[in-house]
Amino acid sequence: MASMQLVSRSCPLFQGSYSQHVSNVQRPPIISSITNLQPCYPKLPTLSCPARVLASKSHYSSCFSLVQLSKAPSPSLKYRRMACVNSMANDLELQAKVTTKCFFDVEIGGEPVGRIVIGLFGDVVPKTINLKNLHAGEKGYGYKGCSFHRIIKDFMIQGGDFTEGNGTGGISIYGSSFEDENFALKHIGPGVLSMANAGPNTNGSQFFICTVKTPWLDKRHVVFGHVVDGMEVVQKLESQETSRSDIPRLPCRIVNCGELPIEG
């Protein structure tokens, strides 16, 4: 039973359901030509991994019953109208007030491609957004120099494993992991920033940025921010050629990161 802050894992961190005891993954059949509909998830086949796993969109999107989802926002949240600059979404409204802004300066294959600016929702998830300390390197470790190690087109880009660089590592500022703070915020579309995990209450340092709406991840992953500028950089990362295991062919690295002032 690991009690150390740094836990090395033999399997990468996936989104979605998983089991520590089942050793096979069943992929659903493929359904083509679905328009204007979003998936809703039934009870899913178990994804197997003895550790952290972030599942491909293909494990979910083609096996759900299809329903038209309501776009009405939750009445329990106070929304702040703020369009996501350069977003692929049509003037997505942020789900909560931005209390902190952070940035990633990114390079692909050693060439600078731009900056991603992220707004964090500290009023809703104050504990989770303390990952901003990893942007600043206040703990002596952090996101500077780490990679986006897993990219799945029309789904998400994943990073934050600054210990192993391959999805098997990472370290929480609270210990080996920390609990799910709440699921008040949803995976509403491109630009959503959410925590990768290995099941309930297993958050570390790994995160993902959605490139599409992913409602099947609601109540499974803690949303804690949104891209407010630099979505074109996210698109460049998303468009990278990858291996069959979703690893980008060219290194995709965060060469600098930090906190930015909030404009009045």
pLDDT tens, residue by residue, 232-261: 999 999 999 999 999 999 999 999 999 999
Catalytic residue among 9, 59, 149, 150: 150
pLDDT of res. 153: 97
Distance CA 172, CA 6 (A): 8
Catalytic residue among 104, 207, 208, 224: 208
Question: 70-84, 165-179, 202-216, 249-263: which has the minimum mean pLDDT?
Answer: 70-84
Please confirm, yes or no, whether 208 is among the known catalytic residues: yes
Question: Would you say the C-alpha torsion 26, 155, 65, 203 has a positive or negative sign?
Answer: positive
Distance CA 3, CA 1 (A): 6
Catalytic residue among 14, 64, 148, 155: 155
Please confirm, yes or no, whether 197 is among the known catalytic residues: yes
Catalytic residue among 217, 220, 237, 240: 217
pLDDT of res. 208: 98
Class assignment of domain 82-264? mainly beta
The whole-angstrom distance between residue 4's C-alpha and the CA centroid of its chain comes to: 24
For 15, the 3-state DSSP assignment is coil
Cβ atoms within 10 Å, residue 9: 22
Residue type, 63: C
Question: 140-144, 220-224, 240-244: which has the minimum mean pLDDT?
Answer: 140-144
The ranges assigned to domains in the chain are 82-264
Catalytic residue among 15, 158, 203, 206: 158
Please confirm, yes or no, whether 44 is among the known catalytic residues: no
Residue 174 or residue 106, greater confidence: 106
Catalytic residue among 130, 197, 203, 206: 197
Please confirm, yes or no, whether 221 is among the known catalytic residues: yes
Catalytic residue among 52, 149, 220, 221: 221
Please confirm, yes or no, whether 103 is among the known catalytic residues: no
pLDDT of res. 140: 74
pLDDT of res. 8: 34
